[in-house]
Structure formats: structure tokens, C-alpha cells
A = this chain, B = another copy of it.
Amino acid sequence: MRKVLVVNGSPRGDRSHSRRLVQLFIDQWTAFNPKDIVHYREVGKGNLPHISEDWIAAAFTPPEDRTAEMKETLGLSDRLVDELLWADTIIAGVPMYNWSVPSSFKAYMDQVMRIGRTWKFESGKPDGVYVGLLENKEMYLVSARGDYGYEPNGHNAHMNFQSNYVKLVFGIMGVEDIREVVLENEEYGGEQFSHSIKKAEGRIQQLLSKRFKTLKEPLR
């Protein structure tokens, strides 16, 4: 029995392609692992607050010295971190907005990058060397992009401030086993986009097949 955390980062609802692919992934996953527990974390439509000056002061105060007010300030962040610590598997759907993640997903990342909970300095004080505290987790990242060519050596590779960034930060928190499913070409529509959808679905198929070996049926 695994614990699966689903983080939906799209501000869109039914029109979101990353959400649909994430759900396809989860449906297949649970079909093969019916006892797994799936927990959904809404980010894209969840209106998560930006971290504030008070939040920063509270997070960098040692837990034993925090006032009741500070603890309250960190309440949502603690809940989000608890979910990550709980999970064996993280599946995140994240569209590219203006070459980075949507501000809502950045707010999520700012909320979960917590000193002493998801990362620490190696020496115990600022030293530029980060040690991740999220252990033994695998992550699947479903990236949706309007344009194409953001993969390494692609013509837009230098503009990938989205999945490269997500991988960097989760890697720093200790999640180094990250596989990506990429959906691209959304803004072009038509056959170019249809082809990209098929490719993304095939990639999900391939990842699950590799993960569980027993997967024999096609996704649909």
C-alpha cells in the first residue's frame, strides 16, 4: 500500500490538459494498485497565499522559540509539508505560464521549502550547501506547455524556467527521482497538438509499464 499525493497546479479546471493527464495517470495507477491511498492537493485553484515577512520570521525562528502567532502563521505551510512527508509518490501537474510555473504553484513551492522540515544547511548554519529532508520519494511531473522545444538541446531550452525549476527545487528538498511527462504544442492546436497528446499518453503508459511491469493493457 503506497501513499500517493496528487498536486494539481493548473489554474484551469476541466479545460486543463495537465489535470486530465494527471487523472489518467492516477486512474491507471489505482487500477493496478487498488489499495493505494490517493490524496489530492489543490494548488492551481487553491488560492494559496504568498509567503510574507511574518512567515519568513516564523520559519527561521527555531520551533521551540515560536509564539502561538508564529505557529498559526505557519499552519498552512506545515499542512502542505506534512502531505509531502506522508507521500511515497508525488504526482504533480504543472503548466508552463510565461516560461515558468504559475504564480500559484510558486506560492506552493515557497510554502513547502521549509528549513528544518524539507531541507537544512549541511553545517547547520548558512553555508550554501543544502541537504534535502524528503527521503525515499518518487515524483512524476506532468508538464503542459503551449509551445515546444523546451527539452535539453531544444530550440527553447534556454527558456525552460518551468520543469527545470521544479526539478531543481524538489531535488534540493531530496526528491531526486523525478520523471517527466511532457505535453506541448497546446497553443497551436490541430494535428500538432493531437500528436503531442498521444505522445504524452504513450509516455504515461511507458512509465507505468516500467514501474509495475505487469501493465499489459493499453491506456484506452
Which A residues have a C-beta under 8 Å from some C-beta of B?
Answer: 11-13, 15, 45, 47, 49-53, 55-56, 97-104, 106-107, 109-110, 113, 126, 128, 146-148, 156, 159, 161, 164-165, 168-169, 187-188
Q: How far is the CA of A55 from the CA of B128 in the complex (A)?
A: 39
Q: How far is the CA of A49 from the CA of B48 in the complex (A)?
A: 10
Closest Cβ–Cβ distance, residue A80 to chain B (whole Å):
13
- Are A165 and B110 touching (Cβ within 8 A)? no
- Are A51 and B113 touching (Cβ within 8 A)? no
- Are A50 and B161 touching (Cβ within 8 A)? no
* Residues of the B chain whose Cβ atoms lie less than 8 Å from the Cβ of A147: 126, 128
- Are A110 and B126 touching (Cβ within 8 A)? no
Q: How far is the CA of A165 from the CA of B50 in the complex (A)?
A: 19
Q: How far is the CA of A99 from the CA of B167 in the complex (A)?
A: 12
- Are B165 and A51 touching (Cβ within 8 A)? no
Q: How far is the CA of A56 from the CA of B50 in the complex (A)?
A: 20
Q: A45-B53, A128-B156 are in contact. List 4 more A-B contacts (CB 8 A).
A: A13-B53, A99-B165, A99-B169, A161-B168
Q: What are 28 pairs between A and B in contact, CB < 8 Å? A: A11-B55, A11-B56, A13-B53, A45-B52, A47-B50, A50-B102, A50-B103, A50-B107, A51-B102, A98-B113, A98-B169, A99-B165, A100-B100, A100-B161, A101-B106, A102-B106, A102-B110, A103-B104, A103-B106, A103-B109, A106-B106, A126-B146, A128-B147, A128-B156, A159-B168, A161-B161, A161-B164, A161-B168
* Residues of the B chain whose Cβ atoms lie less than 8 Å from the Cβ of A50: 11, 47, 102-104, 107
* Residues of the B chain whose Cβ atoms lie less than 8 Å from the Cβ of A47: 49-50
A162 to chain B: closest residue by CB: B161
